[in-house]
Chains A and B, each alone.
Chain A
Amino acid sequence: MNEWTIAIIKVVFIWSWTLLIATVMTWVERRGSALIQDRLGPNIAGPFGLFQPLADGIKLFTKEEFAPKHAHKILFTLGPVLFALQAFSAYAVIPFGDKIVINAKEIVLQVADVNIGFLFVLAVGSLAVYGFVVGGWGSNNKYSLLGGLRATAQLLSYEVPLGLAMLAVCMTYSSFSLREISLDQTGTFLGFLPNWGIFKQPLGFLVFIVAAYAEANRVPFDLPEAESELVAGYHTEYGGMRLGLYLFGEYVNLYTLSALMVTIYFGAWHIPYIDMSAYLSPFAYGIASFFVFFIKCAFFLWLFVWVRWTIPRFRFDQLMGLGWKSLIPLGLLNLFVTAFFIQISL
């Protein structure tokens, strides 16, 4: 196998894997909300209703691609495409395991180990704004426009704390590469704590997770699509697979953000105090690292569902207040504290 084949296999694998996760997440969301709310949820299609996402997919694909007469044809189509595109490409720089050895060839479980991994995630993540605002504008509908505007303000505001939290992590591990940060999180520090980002950056993690929820447009930050106020926000006029792209994109975003949280704060594929590679064959280790990483992601995916069905939604001014008056000062404080500790340990 040459480099190209490996690269293509990795791209196809991670693309179908995220798509699978996004599909399964729609099921998890519905069954999870049912669990929380004393209901049953989808339970007819397949065992435990597991085929429900498949049925939903078929429905979305076979629906008429309807566009309202007053919509801007090009922008209306472009919106969901832009959104899904950024969602699927953001995962490229995030690892999904350590490395696997096949036929004495070492394969890194990451599509692209770029040395500016953080910046890539932030940059591509920002493109989501275009998905919202183009879709909202192109729909030529007041609810959609308001949703698009809300999304723009929200995503732009919360990218700042997200970036600040990430910056502090970069300083701690003195690297922008997500793989290097993951590799750094082995062993322990202070004698007993696992060498994980959460223990080195507790405040940073708090800022990051709140900003991540806002970036993902989830309750309590789902203002752009607040159904009781804006009908469905930016995707009011969408139906069929165009709507499907928005919905899938949202779950892919969730997965990306969960993976990011695991990578930089929860030791990526490492298990605390145990070095898996010492006990397992290189091939088994590759598989194990992938699953350890995924199980950690699954927890954060579930957390997204859990929070969504527990708390109410913010109001727009409160959302902005939280972003600019609390999270950004906290992020800056975290940055200074981090810098201080790095300075004194030198």
Chain B
Amino acid sequence: MGPVKQRIANEDYVTINVGPSHPAMHGTLRAIAYVSGETVLGADLEIGYLHRGVEKLGENLSYHQFIPITDRLNYCSAIANNVAYEMAVEKLMGIEVPERAQLIRIIMTELSRIADHIVLIGILGVDLGAFTPFFYLFIQREEIYEIFEWYNGARLTNTFGRIGGVEAPLPDDFEERWSELKKGLDKAIDETDKLLTHNRIWMDRTIGVTPISVQDALSWGFTGPCLRACGLKRDLRKDEPYSLYPQFDFEIPTGKHGDVFDRYMIRMIEMRESMKIIDQAFAMYKELGSDAPLMAKVPKIIKPPEGEVYHAIESPNGELGFYIKSDGTDKPYRIKIRPPCYMIFQAFDELIQGEMISDLIACLSSLNIIAGELDR
């Protein structure tokens, strides 16, 4: 008998199984919810349905071979994972990545951040019964994937970049494509805003649903949009700056109550902020000219010196960290991944106590739990 069951041992409840195969589940998550009528008393969480031993795989692959594996962590924004891993290895080896490559990385990471937020907002809408915004946004996500595909041929699992830089410059007509995409994105975000944000039913369904205080959020280890929704201005891009982020001008949105509505709003605003970053980064990219290098000097076989490193970036979901321990050979001794949603998912039971079944689904969607990242 788990702690949740012990807590509710004296109550009348029905066990409802939500997942791992359930229309509201994003990936193979499983929540065993104990409900009394429509009220949720608690939920046991079962994870591991998508466990593929990613960390163990890393120990048997060379440093470059591990990049495609990182695609399969948060598959909604594979590029952010690739970049986080590459930066960790570069930090371990002390490689300085050329500015041009860093700009391409920033542009691509921010694009994948937008794509990730689109998935969350679209699915949150679907889970609350609003189907249409999903399509408006996903058409734009398709366009973002077109850009990815046209950069290196892959759409979902991008395997973007190399250790020490990136493989190719941005294609020639990026500017054209981006300005077109920007128009479409602006329109789609506006339309979603009109359909959802001030919709009475939407507000009733999201405002004050599963709130969490900053203190609790920090104790659970929340990071990213879910933490900012509680009101703490914490963003690794500003607080522990990496890459060229200090040079950009962008806002960090914060919420107040940490409820579903705030988590949704943070993402809506962040999409626009990411667009601002891409604009600035592309302007800098153009200034550099086409002769600037894309790769740092990196040996053919990567053999980092003995030692360990932890590097984290602000992924769309929160702090995505890679801990790498090297024993001086061409394979890492140990790779440990700190995914943001593993910490966030722990708080799920506490968040949904006393809420209704519909709120359970809304809460789960708004936390953006990605099974690939959670189970690894």
Q: Which of B63-71, B194-202, B210-218 contacts A (4 or more CB under 8 A)?
A: B194-202
Neighbouring B residues of A223 by C-beta, 8 Å: 358
Is A189 an interface residue, CB under 8 A from the partner? no
B177-220 contact mask (Cβ, 8 Å, vs A): 1 or 0: 00000000000000000011001011011000000000000000
Q: For chain A residues 299-335, which have a beta carbon within 8 Å of chain B?
A: 309-318
Interchain CB contact under 8 A, A37 and B132: yes
Nearest-CB distance from A339 to chain B (Å)? Answer: 31
Question: Which residues A176-234 have CB closer than 8 A to chain B?
Answer: 219-220, 222-223, 226-231
Pick from B16-24, B82-90, B240-248, B290-298 the stretch touching chain A. Answer: B16-24
Partner-binding segment picked from B52-60, B121-129, B345-353: B121-129
- The verdict on A228 contacting B38 (CB below 8 Å), with A142-B14, A316-B358 known, is no
- CB pair B358–A33 under 8 Å, yes or no, is no
- A38-B139, A39-B135, A222-B129 known; A229 vs B358 contact (CB < 8 Å): yes
Q: Is the CB of B38 within 8 A of A316?
A: yes
Q: Are A317 and B356 CB-contacts (below 8 A) given A142-B16, A311-B199, A312-B202?
A: yes
A228 B361 Cβ-Cβ under 8 A: yes
- The answer to whether the Cβ of A36 comes within 8 Å of any Cβ in the partner chain is yes
Given contacts A37-B132, A39-B135, A315-B359, contact A228 B196 (CB under 8 A): no
Rounded to whole angstroms, the CA-CA distance of A318 and B23 in the bound complex is 23
B142 to chain A, nearest CB (A): 11
- How many chain B residues sit at the interface, stated as a range, is 20 to 34
Interface bits B108-151 vs A (CB < 8 Å: 1, else 0): 00000000000000000111111110011001000000000000
Minimum Cβ distance to chain A for residue B198 (Å)? 12
CB <8 Å contact, A37 and B135:
yes
Interface residues on chain A, number (Cβ under 8 Å): 28
Chain A residues positioned under 8 Å from B357 (CB to CB)? 146, 229-230, 316
- Residues of B contacting A309 with CB < 8 Å? 131-132
Let me know if B127 and A310 touch, CB within 8 A.
no
B16, B129, B135 — most chain A CB neighbours (10 Å):
B129
In the complex formed, the residue of A with least CB distance to B130 is A312
Shortest CB distance A150–B (Å): 8
Residues B136 and A37 in contact, CB atoms below 8 Å apart:
yes
Closest chain A residue, CB of each to CB of B125:
A312
Give Cα A231 to B127, complex, Å: 11
6 CB-based A-B contacts, threshold 8 Å: A146-B357, A312-B128, A312-B129, A314-B205, A315-B204, A316-B38
Q: A227-B23, A229-B361, A311-B201 are in contact. List 10 more A-B contacts (CB 8 A).
A: A36-B132, A142-B17, A220-B129, A226-B129, A228-B126, A310-B130, A312-B128, A315-B204, A317-B38, A318-B204
Which B positions have Cβ atoms within 8 angstroms of A?
14-17, 22-24, 38, 125-132, 135-136, 139, 195-196, 199, 201-202, 204-205, 356-361
